[in-house]
C-alpha cells in the first residue's frame, strides 16, 4: 500500500503522517520523486481500508494498494517514477537510471595477474568505460575449472582502481567474504548462481553498497524481482538488475538466450535500473557487439562487456571476450548511437546533486 501526498505537503506533516502510520503497526518508507512524494506502507495492510488511511491527513492525495508480490521493487511503490542508483567512484559520481547516459562496465571475467588487470583497466577506461569488472571469486560449473585467485585478486583490483580511477564491480559468493569484497568493490555483484542465495541477499541488503543482481539462468522475471525484494527489504535500495541470458532449449550456437524483451517488461513492473550483459548472454565474442547495440536501442541503462587482452589465453570465458581493439570499435558505435537515441547527459554538478537529493542518499559531491 502506498500513500501519495499532494504537491507542497510540509515536511512536518509528512513526519506526522509517518508517525500515525507507525502507530498502526506499519512501517512507513518515504520516497521522493521528481513530481510526487510517496510513503510506502510495509506490513500486513490487508486489514486496512485505504479510505480510512486517507483520513489521516488532508494532504493525502490518494492511497493505493500494491498488487504485486514484490512490494518495494514494484513501480507502483514509487508511483510510477524510476529510481536511480548513484555510485561515487574516484573519478566521478556515476548514475545508473533512465534518462542518464548508459553506464559501461567492462573488463575480464576473472583477475589473472597484476599486469593483465591494470593493462585492461587502462584500455577500457581510455575507451570510455566507467567501471572495471573482474572476478576474484569465480563460481564455476566444474570443480576443476579455474575458481579465481580469491583475496589476492581483490588487492589487484584495488591497485587497478588506484591506477585508473575506475569504479570496481566484482562478485561475492559467500557471506564470509562480503566484508573484504565490500572494501574494494564500488558495486557488489550477485551472480546468476547466487540469485536465490537468500542468506547472501539479506547480508548485502544490510549495507548500502550498490548491488548488481544478475538474473538466474533459469529464473522467471518474478523470481528475479523477488530476489531484489530481499535486498530492498533488508534496507538497501541500491539495486541494479542485470540480464545475462537464460537457459533455453537451443544451446548449440549461443551459450544462453539473451532476453532483451525483459527491458520493456521490467519498465512496466519495476523502478530499478536495468543492465544487460551480452557477453554471458551469447557466449560468443562476435555476437556481443550486435546484442550490445540492440540492448542500447531497447533502452537499457548499463552494459557489462567482457574484455581481455588475449582472449585465446584467458583462464575463463575467453570465447565471449572482446579484445581491447574490438571494444574500442564497439564504444565508438555506442557513442554514435547514444547521440542518435538522445540520451540526456548530466551537464553539471547540480544534476548529480538533484539526483542524490531525490534518492535521499548521504553522499558528498
- pLDDT band, residue 357 (cuts 50/70/90): low
Across residues 353-359, what is the average pLDDT? 55
CA distances, 213 to each of 26, 78, 192, 274, 283 (Å): 28, 20, 8, 10, 19
User: Does the structure show a pLDDT above 60 at 116?
Assistant: yes
Q: What is the pLDDT of residues 226-239, one digit of tens each?
A: 999 999 999 999 99
Q: How do strand 2-5 and strand 37-42 relate by DSSP bridges?
A: antiparallel
What 3 state SS string does 61-127 have? EEEECCCCCCCCCEHHHHCCCCCCEEEECCCCEEEECCCCCCEEEEECCECCCHHHHHHHHHHHHHH
Please determine, for residue 146, whether its predicted confidence score (pLDDT) is greater than 80. no
Confidence (pLDDT) at 342: 62
Residue 345 is given by DSSP the state P
- Segment 276-305 shows an average pLDDT of 96
Convert 70-92 to b/e letters by CB count within 10 Å (16 or more is b).
bbbbbbbbbbebbbbbbbbbeee
Q: What is the pTM of this model?
A: 0.88
Q: Say if residue 361's pLDDT is above 50.
A: no
* pLDDT band per the 50, 70, 90 thresholds, residue 140: low
Residue 8's CB: how many other CB atoms inside 10 A?
8
Q: Which residue has the higher pLDDT, 344 or 32?
A: 32
The pLDDT score that the predictor gives to residue 99 is 82
Q: What is the rounded distance in angstroms from the CA atom of residue 337 to the CA atom of residue 330?
A: 11
The owner of cell 582472449 is 311
Helix (H) / strand (E) element for 4: namely: strand 2-5
**Grid coordinates given for 197:** 542465495
Burial of 210 (0-12, 13-18, 19+ CB in 10 A): buried
CB atoms within 10 A of CB 126: 13
pLDDT of residue 355: 56
pLDDT in tens, 58-104: 999 889 888 888 989 999 888 888 999 999 999 899 999 998 999 99
In contact, 202 and 236? CB cutoff 8 Å: no
Spatial separation of the C-alpha atoms in residues 206 and 91, rounded to whole Å: 27
132, 161 contact by CB (below 8 A): yes
Q: What 8-state DSSP symbol labels residue 307?
A: B
What is the average per-residue pLDDT within 296-322?
A: 94
Q: Give the contacts of 342 (CB within 8 A, at least 6 positions apart).
A: none
278: cell is 551480452
Rounded distance between C-alpha atoms, residue 266 and residue 194, angstroms: 20
Residue 23, burial from CB neighbour count under 10 angstroms (0-12, 13-18, 19+): exposed
Mean pLDDT of the chain: 89
Domains of the chain plus CATH, in order, are 2-65 (3.30.70.1140), 85-347 (3.20.20.70)
CA–CA gap between residue 13 and residue 240 (Å, rounded): 32
Beta-bridged to residue 90, according to DSSP, are none
pLDDT tens sequence across 163-222: 999 999 999 999 999 999 999 999 999 999 999 999 999 999 998 899 999 999 999 999
Range 349-355 average pLDDT: 51
For residue 360, the model assigns a pLDDT of 46
Quick one: how far is CA 207 from the chain centroid? 15
> Which pLDDT does position 215 carry in this prediction?
98
CB contact at 8 A, 97 and 110: no
Q: In which element (H, E) is residue 153 found?
A: helix 151-164
Share of the chain above pLDDT 70, in %: 91
Q: Would you state the pLDDT for residue 64?
A: 87
Q: How far is CA 312 from CA 123, 131, 207, 316, 320, in A?
A: 18, 23, 38, 10, 10
Amino acid at each position: 500500500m502506498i500513500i501519495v501526498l499532494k504537491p507542497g505537503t510540509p515536511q512536518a506533516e509528512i513526519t506526522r503522517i509517518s508517525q500515525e502510520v507507525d502507530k498502526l503497526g506499519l512501517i512507513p518508507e518515504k520516497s521522493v520523486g521528481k513530481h510526487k512524494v510517496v510513503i510506502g506502507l510495509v506490513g500486513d495492510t490487508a486489514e486496512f481500508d485505504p479510505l480510512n488511511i486517507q483520513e489521516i491527513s488532508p494532504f493525502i492525495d490518494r492511497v493505493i494498494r500494491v498488487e504485486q508480490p514484490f512490494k518495494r521493487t514494484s513501480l507502483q511503490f514509487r508511483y510510477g517514477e524510476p529510481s536511480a542508483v548513484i555510485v561515487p567512484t574516484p573519478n566521478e559520481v556515476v548514475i545508473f537510471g533512465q534518462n542518464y547516459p548508459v553506464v559501461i562496465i567492462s573488463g575480464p571475467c576473472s583477475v589473472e595477474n597484476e599486469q593483465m588487470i591494470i593493462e585492461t583497466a587502462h584500455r577500457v577506461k581510455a575507451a570510455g568505460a566507467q567501471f572495471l569488472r573482474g572476478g576474484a571469486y569465480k563460481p564455476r560449473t566444474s570443480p576443476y575449472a579455474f575458481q579465481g585467485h580469491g583475496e589476492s585478486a581483490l588487492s589487484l583490483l584495488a591497485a587497478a582502481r588506484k591506477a585508473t580511477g575506475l569504479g570496481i564491480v566484482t562478485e561475492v559468493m559467500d557471506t564470509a567474504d562480503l566484508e573484504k569484497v565490500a572494501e574494494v568493490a564500488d558495486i557488489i555483484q550477485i551472480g546468476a548462481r547466487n540469485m536465490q542465495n537468500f542468506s547472501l541477499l539479506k547480508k548485502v541488503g544490510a549495507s548500502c553498497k550498490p548491488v548488481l543482481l544478475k538474473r538466474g539462468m533459469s529464473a522467471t522475471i518474478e523470481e528475479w524481482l523477488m530476489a531484489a525484494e530481499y535486498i530492498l527489504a533488508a534496507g538497501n535500495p541500491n539495486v541494479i538488475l542485470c540480464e545475462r541470458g537464460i537457459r533455453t532449449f537451443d544451446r548449440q550456437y549461443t551459450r544462453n538466450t539473451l532476453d532483451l524483451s525483459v527491458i520493456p517488461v521490467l519498465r512496466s513492473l519495476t523502478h530499478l535500473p536495468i543492465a544487460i550483459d551480452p557477453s554471458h548472454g551469447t557466449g560468443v565474442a562476435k555476437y556481443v557487439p550486435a546484442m550490445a547495440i540492440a540492448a542500447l536501442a531497447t533502452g537499457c541503462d548499463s552494459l557489462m562487456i567482457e574484455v581481455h587482452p588475449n582472449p585465446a589465453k584467458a583462464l575463463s570465458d575467453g570465447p565471449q571476450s572482446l579484445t581491447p581493439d574490438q571494444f574500442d570499435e564497439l564504444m565508438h558505435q555506442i557513442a554514435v548511437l547514444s547521440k542518435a537515441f538522445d540520451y540526456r547527459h548530466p551537464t553539471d554538478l547540480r544534476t548529480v546533486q538533484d539526483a542524490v537529493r531525490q534518492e535521499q542518499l548521504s553522499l558528498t559531491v
